[in-house]
Amino acid sequence: MLQTQQVNTPNDTISKITLSNGNETSIVVSNLGATLLNFKTPDKNGKLQDIVLGFDTVEEYFRNTDTYFGATIGRIANRTETASFSLDGETFQIDKNEGENNLHSGPNGYQIRIWEVESLDESSNQVTFKLDSSDGDQGYPGNLTLKITYRLTDDNQVTITYQALSDKNTPLSPTNHSYFNLNGHASGSIENHLLQLNASAFTPIKDSTSIPTGQIADVEGTPFDFRKPKTIGQDIDQPFEQLQFAGGYDHNLVLDNPNLQTAFATVIGDKSGIRLEAFTDLPGVQFYTGNFLNNHPGKAQASYGKRHGFCLETQFFPNAINVPNFPSPVLKANTPATYQTIYKVSIH
């Protein structure tokens, strides 16, 4: 089922769209930032839990631009070293918003854009948002049209489909920045959640700037080995330099076999029994454990503290546009591209 609500803010009218299925699962998405606002599903006791962090009002999404709760990030998610890159013999400068580097494409990111509601499709329970990002927008080349479709299926899959077309070669690595807490958004630390992740390698970072060294390192024998299930917290405070740089996990893992049929990650909420499976055809995932959350006021008077949510941000590797041995994030001119990420919930 699909319901639309219009919210008037001083300057704009924002849409909130609810998609629900016959299994009491529902999501609310907005054309402000093509954001996932709510994701509700019953826990093992049949009690509805909202499993994503966020705000009650759309104004708060405009104001709080450092958490990226539920938002779509583009054109490039994650870090770009020196906020510059070369493409086809030309050098491009983007905003320096994290020291000398760029994070999430800068202050004018896609998360604060008002996207067009291009289509609402009741029969397939989906909504498509569209953004026209002009040549030079954020400093990137090419007129880019990006469409994002959110769909909720009857078997509790939220599919996020990115469709992109540019008239020039341009880097593109969009992601969804949802913070999950499978015990419910306001239920504290995620460190006792159980995680299994099919990644045999990760991209180590140089220092606390979180810029990758360019190496692809084996997870074997490190806290980054989640190939067999373990709690998120089991090794998070190990005296391991990579973790200390970021105050926990905030690293790109290299997916063994990115595809839409086998989950790359399975996470279980220890109190709720809610299981999240994630699928993608993108090569990497930024696993972020909410290390920078600092009693952030959220939905229904919640206060989100350090490690109260985790993100699985599917993406090309951070700084890939500057690292030749990482898979290329370049979208070729006049060549449509489609990427997909799926978050599926069930009871463990």
Q: Which residues sit at the interface with ligand GLA, rule CB under 6 A?
A: 66-68, 78, 103, 210, 250, 286, 288, 292, 311, 313
User: Residues 6 or more apart from 170 whose CB is under 8 A from it?
Assistant: 75, 87, 140, 141, 142, 144, 330, 331
* Chain residue at closest Cβ approach to ligand GLA: 288
DSSP code at position 60:
H
Q: Which of 81, 104, 177, 193 is catalytic?
A: 177
Q: Could you give the 3-state DSSP secondary structure of residue 62?
A: helix
Q: Could you give the 3-state DSSP secondary structure of residue 93?
A: strand
- Rounded CA separation 246/240 (Å): 11
By C-beta, is 181 or 286 nearer to ligand GLA?
A: 286
DSSP code at position 20:
E
The question of whether 313 is a catalytic residue gets the answer: yes
By C-beta, is 78 or 128 nearer to ligand GLA?
A: 78
By C-beta, is 78 or 101 nearer to ligand GLA?
A: 78
- Rounded CA separation 306/288 (Å): 11
By C-beta, is 64 or 84 nearer to ligand GLA?
A: 64
- Rounded CA separation 129/146 (Å): 8
DSSP code at position 2:
E
- Rounded CA separation 133/148 (Å): 13
By C-beta, is 78 or 156 nearer to ligand GLA?
A: 78
DSSP string, 84-143: EEEETTEEEE----BTTBEETT-TT-GGGSB-EEEEEETTTTEEEEEEEE-TTGGG--S-
Compute φ and ψ for 175, nearest 5 degrees.
Answer: -145, 165
Q: Could you give the 3-state DSSP secondary structure of residue 178?
A: coil
DSSP string, 278-335: EEESSSEEEEE--TT--SEE-GGG-EE-TTS-BEEEEESPTTGGG-TTSPP-EEPTT-
The minimum distance between CB 249 and ligand GLA, in angstroms, equals: 10
The question of whether 177 is a catalytic residue gets the answer: yes
Q: What is the β-pairing status of strands 72-73 and 303-304?
A: unpaired
By C-beta, is 147 or 177 nearer to ligand GLA?
A: 177
- What residues act catalytically? 177, 313
